[in-house]
Amino acid sequence: MRNDNPSDNDVLVSFRGVRKTYDGENLVVKQLDLDIYRGEFLTLLGPSGSGKTTCLMMLAGFEFPTSGEIRLDGKLLNRVPPHKRNIGMVFQNYALFPHMTVAQNVGYPLQVRGIGGEARRRQVHEALQMVRMEAFGERFPAQLSGGQQQRIALARALVFKPKLVLMDEPLGALDKQLREHMQLELKALHRQLGVTFVYVTHDQGEALTMSDRVAVFDQGIIQQIDPVGALYETPGNAFVASFIGDSNRLQGQIGQRDGDRCTLNLPGGDVLRGMRIGEATPGQAATASIRPERMRLVDTADTAAAGNILRGRAAGIIYFGDHVRLQCDFADQPQCFVKVPLDTPALASLAPGQPVALAFEPAHLRIFS
C-alpha cells in the first residue's frame, strides 16, 4: 500500500491537461490532471461513457491523447507504443491465445522482450506460483474455468515485473460469488507484491472493497478522488453521493448559513440542518443526501430526539436477515429508505401506511447547492 503522505517522488504516473476526442468535436475526456502513486491500488470508477476506460487505454498506449501529457516515472508516454511502456495489462475477456498452453501464454511477454531459456522458464513458474496455478502450465485456456483464466491473465501481466499493472473490468465475466472471492485475492496479491495497480470498473462495491483510492468519473471529468472511507462518508457533490453506495435524497431550498453548515427548507415547511457543500446562497435550490444507515427509526411521539426529524409514512418493510429495510414516503420528496436493526422498539408494531419518524444528526446530512 502506498505512503499515506505521498510526496512528488512517490508519483509514478502523472496526467497533465489530458483531453481526448475521437471525432474532433466531442471530448470523451475533458480535462484530466491526475497523479498515481507508487504501490497504490487506484480504481477508476464511473458509469458507461464517463471516460474511465479511455483514460486507461491512453495510459496503456492503445489510445493517444488529443492534448496534454502522460508521464511514467517522469518519461513522456504520449507516442510510446504499448510494448515499450513496461506496463502489464489484464483485459475483461482475458485475451489468452487459445492455441498456446498456459505456460506459453504467460511466457509470451518475455518472448517479445527476447528473454528465453532457463530465465524464461523460471519467471513463468514464479508468475504461476503467485496466482497458485503452477500445476496448470501444460493445459490450454479452453480447459480452464473463468476464474482460472483470470488468474492466468494476471500472471501474464506480472511475469515481466512491470512497474504498473492495468486492469480493465477483469472480473466482469465471473459469477457473483467467484467475483467477490477474486476481489479479495487481488487485494491480497497487491499487498504481497507492492506493484501499482490501476483498475477500471463501473461496480462501486468492487471499488470500495479493493482500492486505496477511487477516482469517480462522470462526463469525462473526475468528480472526486479520495480514499474509500472519505469518498463514502464525505462525497463532494450530489453525483458522487448517489453513485457511491446507497443514499437518500431530499429536495429543498437553502435557508440560513452558519460557517460550514446551513439549513434546508423543505417544501412542506420542515427545516433540516446539515453540512453545506459548495457556495450556497439563501433561497437557492439544493439537494441533500444522507446514508440510510445514518437514519434512526424513532417513536413518532418523540419530539426531543437530537438532530433532525423527518415525519412520513411507512411504504414497505423488507426483511434482510440482520436488518429490515424500511421504505418511507414523505410529502413532496423522493421515497427514502432506512436500515433498521431488528431489535428497534418502534419496529415491533409497524405496518405499511402507518406514520414514521426518522431522526439523524446534522453532521451526516450533506446539502449540495
| Nine cell digits for residue 86 | 513496461
SS3 149: helix
Residues of each domain in the chain carrying CATH 2.40.50.100: 246-368
Strand order in the sheet with 27-37: 27-37, 11-21, 67-72, 75-76
Q: What is the pLDDT of residue 20?
A: 97
Q: Report d(CA 307, CA 127) in Å as an integer.
A: 55
The answer to whether residues 363 and 296 touch, using CB atoms and an 8 Å cutoff, is: no
**Interval 274-310: pLDDT, tens:** 999 988 789 999 999 999 999 999 887 776 556 899 9
Q: What average pLDDT score do residues 186-203 get? A: 92
For residues 294 and 343, the model is more confident at 294
The answer to whether residues 238 and 285 touch, using CB atoms and an 8 Å cutoff, is: no
CATH number of the structural domain 246-368: 2.40.50.100
Q: Report d(CA 362, CA 369) in Å as an integer.
A: 16
Q: Which CATH number fits domain 8-239: 3.40.250.10, 3.40.50.720, 3.30.565.10, 3.40.50.300?
A: 3.40.50.300
**Interval 233-263: pLDDT, tens:** 999 999 999 999 899 999 999 999 988 999 9
**Interval 119-155: pLDDT, tens:** 999 999 999 998 889 999 999 999 998 889 988 999 9
What DSSP string runs through 109-123? HHHHTT--HHHHHHH
Q: What is the pLDDT of residue 365?
A: 96
**Interval 169-184: pLDDT, tens:** 888 877 888 888 888 8
Burial of residue 77 (CB within 10 Å: 0-12, 13-18, 19+) is: buried
Q: What is the pLDDT of residue 4?
A: 57
Whole-model pTM: value is 0.87
